[in-house]
């Protein structure tokens, strides 16, 4: 039994209870789409798009707009292409199996990246530079990134497998955006209910449901142990400490 097998079994791309792989409610998502306000015919790119649900919502909001989803997870890309086909968006939303940091196209009206800054060396500052470079003057950026809601405890760091310097404060995140020429138009953060539902429906919930349905499976005990570790790490560690901010920015 390997950790890779367990991670694959619990992968987000196969989890039909996840609309998006981030703590985000329908209401909050609608507010982000409204703040991004893509115009008819807009060109949109999502760097680290996953299966592209938010990208598709943005494209659907703007007649004649098109979207590029840039993603290396082949299972997520397959799910995204299937969703785009089901919604009549196959000609308007295209997925590219390319690392986000290697995407060289530019001149977009809107560039999006949610929870994918690790794709760039140097993480947050480099991700913001790449997003700024991807949009035309006057374009917009939607950037989702983690931050510390409060000073992380040892239990929070252990639960995340993180170091104190992996994230900064919300204000530091805003300052990083400003430093590359991006001005904040709207800053919102995932609330506790969004986080709790995300954790309940992502690794913890998916693993628990699978274990209940497969008591005799060779991976059963490993999945239960992984779920218990995640539950301890969240409820006993980083819940209320790790935040997720959504910055709508003007270039």
DSSP string, 227-248: HHHHHHHIIIIITTTEEEEEEE
Say if CB 12 and CB 207 are below 8 A apart: no
Structure tokens at 136: 């035309």
Beta bridge partners of 70: 47, 96
Return phi, psi of residue 34, to 5°. -65, -40
Per the confidence metrics, is the pTM higher than 0.75? yes
pLDDT at 12: 75
Residue with the two structure tokens 């949009």: 135
Predicted pLDDT at 81: 97
Tens of pLDDT, residue by residue, the chain (251 residues): 466 777 666 677 778 889 999 999 999 999 999 999 999 999 999 999 999 999 999 999 999 999 999 999 999 999 999 999 999 999 999 999 999 999 989 999 999 999 999 999 878 999 999 999 999 999 999 999 999 999 999 999 999 999 999 999 999 999 999 999 999 999 999 999 999 999 988 878 888 888 898 898 888 888 889 889 999 999 999 999 999 999 999 99
pLDDT at 2: 63
Residue 95 · residue 77 · CB < 8 Å:
yes
Q: What is the pLDDT of residue 17?
A: 86
Q: Report the C-alpha gap between 150 and 156 in whole angstroms.
A: 10
Closest by CA to 182, choosing from 230, 240, 231, 135, is 135
The crossing angle, in degrees rounded to 10, of helices 74-86 and 53-60 is: 30
Cβ(3)–Cβ(31) under 8 Å? Answer: no
Residue 84: its pLDDT value, please? Answer: 98
Residue 159 pLDDT: 93
250: nearest Cα among 136, 135, 128, 141: 141
């Amino acid at each position: 039994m390997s950790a890779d097998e367990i991670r694959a079994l619990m992968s987000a791309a196969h989890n039909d209870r996840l609309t998006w792989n981030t703590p985000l409610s329908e209401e909050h998502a609608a507010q982000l789409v409204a703040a991004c306000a893509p115009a008819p015919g807009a060109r949109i790119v999502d760097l680290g798009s996953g299966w592209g649900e938010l990208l598709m919502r943005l494209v659907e909001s703007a007649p004649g707009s098109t979207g590029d989803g840039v993603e290396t997870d082949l299972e997520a890309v397959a799910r995204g292409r299937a969703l785009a086909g089901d919604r009549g968006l196959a000609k308007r939303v295209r997925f590219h199996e390319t690392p986000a940091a290697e995407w060289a196209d530019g001149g977009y009206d809107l560039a999006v990246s949610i929870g994918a800054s690790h794709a760039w060396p140097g993480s947050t500052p480099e991700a913001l530079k790449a997003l700024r470079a991807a949009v035309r003057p006057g374009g917009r950026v939607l950037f989702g990134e983690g931050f510390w809601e409060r000073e992380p405890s040892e239990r929070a760091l252990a639960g995340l497998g993180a170091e104190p310097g992996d994230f900064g404060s919300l204000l530091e995140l805003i300052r990083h955006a400003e430093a590359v020429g991006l001005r904040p138009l709207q800053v919102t953060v995932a609330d506790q209910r969004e986080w709790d539902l995300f954790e309940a429906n992502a690794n913890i919930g998916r693993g628990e449901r699978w274990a209940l349905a497969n008591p005799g499976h060779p991976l059963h005990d490993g999945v239960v142990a992984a779920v218990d570790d995640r539950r301890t790490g969240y409820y006993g560690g980083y819940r209320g400490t790790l935040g997720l901010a959504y910055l709508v920015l003007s270039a």
